């Protein structure tokens, strides 16, 4: 059948969006109707269901023990400790119920979701890892969405790394600090979008560089400062003169480096080895349309944070891995095949509208099932009974859709309603990628969690910390330090919602600062995270033209190539097309 593009109006933001012929082909393949929300509103809705790094203390509903969990204590959903949840002391099938064709499906799954016990999904094989959402790691502290790490702290999406602190999206790193989107690097500090670098400071878009400072767009260079070469002795002397072991020296270096970043061209897209693709932060893929942070993939559309292979033939997937024929799926891993509306699950196939399930096939409307097949609302059926009921339930979801307070209609094919999310918008993944103010979030029907009043016995202000790491004694380990943003009231948008107001320095952390000759931080973990997030582009494309005016680039005046980029028109960056960029930096 030949399809044509169609314009629709998003029932959430009321803006027009286009459904392309390839989209219709995919919907036909997995037997879902076209969406009624635009791609952005669909992505926000999925991300609103994920709390990546905000812990709460509450009692285990099975044992009464104090536990740390991602579910707020005022949420009525029962929560078990990880050990109890994984044990055979309870059975999710005990919460099973008959399907009620007189009520909307989403009313029924909401009740089950708020009744079946919850636990942190991805904590596996951890040794001496406090307050982490991670797997296969040891001696880590406050690491989230991470795995296979050692001796690290304060990271989000850290993989196969050791002795790394305060990073986002780092893979195969060692002794890296305050960096983002960097791979296979050693002693890389305050840098972004770098690969295979050693001992670099404040660098962006550098590959194979050694001993570089404040550089941008370099390839296989050594002993460069602000993109200028020096001999080894001069480089070392100039670096010593910057006093990078002091807070004042570090701030001056940061300002100078970021000024140089703005003056050097950057490629319109962060991409490596991709063909016929649009989006940003994409690699090793083909036919990736409107994708962000997607790799090792083929034929993916409107996806975010889908990296580990194989990822094929999927649409509207967020923070998942090993996907095939997945749609409106979020936070899943280790094999996701033919799913619609699945959240926080692993090793799942032929799954529909299910949450926190593992090693399951042929289920719909289930919560927290493990190694089960042919289940509906946590009730076991025979294969024959299940296959008979499934099409009736799918039809019922469209015949009697759920309608929320904003009048938005949710039938089969749509993700869970926004009012089902267990987290406040400000604590969700959506807040980082698509930030909204409290009033904006509430207007769109998202839950908003009020900022908690924190009462700490502060013993030191950030402004009172020693300037140099050499001046710091072990007494700092006993101090409760007021976050600089809380002290000055100078919050940036985002950290004002989640500022911890105070922080402490751990022994592991202090040893790292001394080893790396780095001054103490002045911000709490949450404010530091938001500060680093500002170093990456938001996942929204803008139509722009190459800004290159170099006449030796085979064009007489300004390059006429146009493209879609995440760099907004109001930004200060100099944006080049692929061809002009390669002539400039390689």
Structural domain boundaries of the chain?
6-51+424-443, 273-330, 460-533
Full-model pTM: 0.93
Average pLDDT score over the chain: 94
Any residues with CB less than 8 A from the CB of 237 and at least 6 apart, and which? Answer: none
Name the pLDDT band for 455 (thresholds 50, 70, 90): confident
- The Cα 243–Cα 122 span in angstroms is 41
Lowest average pLDDT, out of 70-79, 191-200, 210-219, 488-497, goes to 488-497
Contact 330, 318 (CB under 8 A): yes
Predicted pLDDT of residue 120: 72
In tens, the pLDDT along 17-70 reads: 999 999 999 999 999 999 999 999 999 999 999 998 888 889 999 999 998 888
- The Cα 449–Cα 160 span in angstroms is 34
In tens, the pLDDT along 531-550 reads: 999 999 999 999 999 999 88
Q: Per the structure block, which two tokens stand in for 556?
A: 């007489």
SS3 28: helix
Which residue bears the tokens 């064709």?
101
Q: Per the structure block, which two tokens stand in for 259?
A: 């000024």
Contact 185, 194 (CB under 8 A): yes
**Per-residue pLDDT for 444 more than 80?**
yes
Q: Per the structure block, which two tokens stand in for 453?
A: 């009043």
Q: Per the structure block, which two tokens stand in for 513?
A: 């600062």
**Per-residue pLDDT for 1 more than 70?**
no
Query: Average of pLDDT values for 118-139?
Result: 85
380, with CB counted inside 10 A (0-12, 13-18, 19+), is middle
Contact 324, 310 (CB under 8 A): yes
In tens, the pLDDT along 466-486 reads: 999 999 999 999 999 999 999
Name the pLDDT band for 73 (thresholds 50, 70, 90): confident
**Per-residue pLDDT for 76 more than 90?**
no
Query: Average of pLDDT values for 241-252?
Result: 96
Sign of the CA dihedral running 393, 397, 399, 400: positive
Predicted pLDDT of residue 52: 87
Q: Which residues pair with 155 in a beta bridge?
A: 143
Query: Average of pLDDT values for 83-98?
Result: 95
Contact 147, 162 (CB under 8 A): no
Instruction: Count Cβ atoms below 10 Å from residue 363 Cβ, excluding itself.
Output: 29
Which residue bears the tokens 């979801």?
397
SS3 69: strand
In tens, the pLDDT along 359-417 reads: 999 999 999 999 999 999 999 999 999 999 999 999 999 999 999 999 999 999 999 99
Any residues with CB less than 8 A from the CB of 564 and at least 6 apart, and which? Answer: 268, 278, 541, 542, 543, 544
| Pair type for strands 279-289 and 271-275 | parallel
User: Which of 192, 229, 234 has the alpha carbon at shortest distance from 210?
Assistant: 229
Query: Average of pLDDT values for 169-193?
Result: 97
Contact 422, 75 (CB under 8 A): yes
**Per-residue pLDDT for 121 more than 70?**
no
SS3 291: strand
CA atoms within 13 A on the CB side of 230: 18
Angle at 540 between CA 536 and CA 545, to 5 degrees: 95
Predicted pLDDT of residue 495: 80
In tens, the pLDDT along 267-320 reads: 999 999 999 999 999 999 999 999 999 999 999 999 999 987 889 999 999 999
CA atoms within 13 A on the CB side of 105: 29
SS3 70: coil
- The Cα 256–Cα 178 span in angstroms is 17
Predicted pLDDT of residue 494: 73
| Strand residues in 331-421 grouped as ranges (E) | 333-340, 346-352, 358-364, 373-376, 379-380, 402-403, 409-410
User: Which of 301, 313, 307, 254 has the alpha carbon at shortest distance from 277?
Assistant: 301
Any residues with CB less than 8 A from the CB of 170 and at least 6 apart, and which? Answer: 155, 157, 158, 159, 161, 164, 176, 179, 180, 182, 183, 185
Query: Average of pLDDT values for 492-517?
Result: 92
Name the pLDDT band for 75 (thresholds 50, 70, 90): confident
């Amino acid at each position: 059948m030949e399809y044509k593009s169609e314009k629709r109006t998003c029932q959430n933001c009321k803006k027009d969006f286009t459904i392309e012929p390839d989209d219709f082909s995919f919907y036909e393949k997995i037997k879902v109707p076209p969406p009624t929300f635009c791609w952005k509103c669909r992505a926000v809705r999925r991300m609103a269901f994920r709390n990546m790094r905000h812990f709460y203390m509450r009692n285990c509903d099975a044992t009464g023990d104090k536990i740390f969990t991602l579910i707020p204590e005022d949420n009525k959903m029962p929560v078990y400790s990880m050990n109890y949840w994984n044990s055979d002391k309870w059975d999710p099938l005990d919460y099973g119920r008959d399907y009620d064709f007189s009520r909307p499906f989403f009313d029924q799954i909401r009740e089950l979701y708020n009744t079946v016990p919850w636990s942190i999904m991805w904590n596996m094989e951890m040794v001496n890892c406090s307050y982490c959402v991670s797997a296969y790691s040891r001696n880590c502290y406050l690491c989230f969405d991470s795995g296979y790490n050692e001796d690290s702290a304060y990271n989000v999406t850290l993989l196969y790394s050791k002795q790394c602190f305060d990073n986002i999206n780092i893979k195969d790193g060692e002794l890296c600090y305050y960096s983002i989107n960097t791979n296979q690097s050693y002693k890389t500090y305050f840098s972004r979008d770098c690969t295979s670098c050693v001992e670099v400071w404040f660098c962006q878009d550098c590959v194979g560089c050694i001993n570089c400072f404040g550089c941008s767009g370099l390839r296989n260079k050594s002993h460069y400062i602000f993109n200028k070469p020096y001999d080894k002795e001069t480089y070392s002397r100039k670096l010593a003169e910057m006093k990078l072991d002091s807070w004042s020296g570090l701030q001056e270096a940061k300002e100078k480096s970021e000024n140089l970043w703005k003056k050097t061209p950057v490629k319109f897209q962060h991409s490596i080895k991709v063909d016929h693709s649009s989006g940003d932060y994409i690699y090793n893929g083909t036919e990736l349309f409107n994708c962000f942070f997607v790799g090792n993939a083929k034929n993916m559309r409107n996806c975010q944070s889908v990296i580990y292979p194989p990822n094929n033939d999927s649409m509207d997937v967020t923070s998942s891995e090993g996907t095939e024929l997945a749609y409106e799926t979020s936070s899943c891993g280790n094999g996701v095949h033919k799913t619609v509306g699945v959240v926080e699950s692993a090793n799942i196939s032929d799954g529909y509208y299910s949450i926190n399930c593992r090693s399951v096939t042929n289920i719909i409307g289930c919560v927290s099932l493990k190694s089960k097949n042919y289940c509906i609302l946590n009730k076991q059926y025979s294969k024959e009974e299940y296959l008979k009921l499934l099409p009736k339930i799918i039809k019922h979801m469209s015949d009697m859709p759920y309608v929320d307070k904003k009048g938005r209609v949710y039938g089969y094919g749509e993700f869970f309603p926004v009012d089902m999310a267990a987290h406040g918008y400000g604590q969700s993944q959506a807040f980082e990628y698509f930030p909204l103010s409290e009033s904006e979030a509430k207007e769109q029907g998202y839950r908003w969690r009020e900022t908690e009043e924190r009462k700490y016995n502060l013993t030191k202000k950030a402004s009172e910390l020693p300037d140099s790491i050499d001046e710091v004694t072990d007494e700092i380990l006993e101090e409760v330090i007021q976050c600089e943003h809380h002290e000055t009231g100078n919050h940036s948008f985002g950290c004002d919602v989640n500022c911890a107001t105070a922080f402490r320095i751990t022994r592991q952390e202090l040893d790292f600062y001394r080893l790396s000759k780095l001054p103490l931080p002045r911000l709490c973990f949450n404010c530091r995270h938001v500060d680093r997030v500002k170093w990456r582009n938001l996942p929204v494309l803008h139509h722009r033209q190459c800004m290159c005016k170099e006449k030796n680039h085979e064009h007489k005046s300004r390059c006429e190539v146009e493209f879609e980029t995440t760099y907004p028109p109001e930004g200060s960056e100099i944006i080049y097309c692929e061809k002009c960029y390669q002539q400039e930096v390689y």
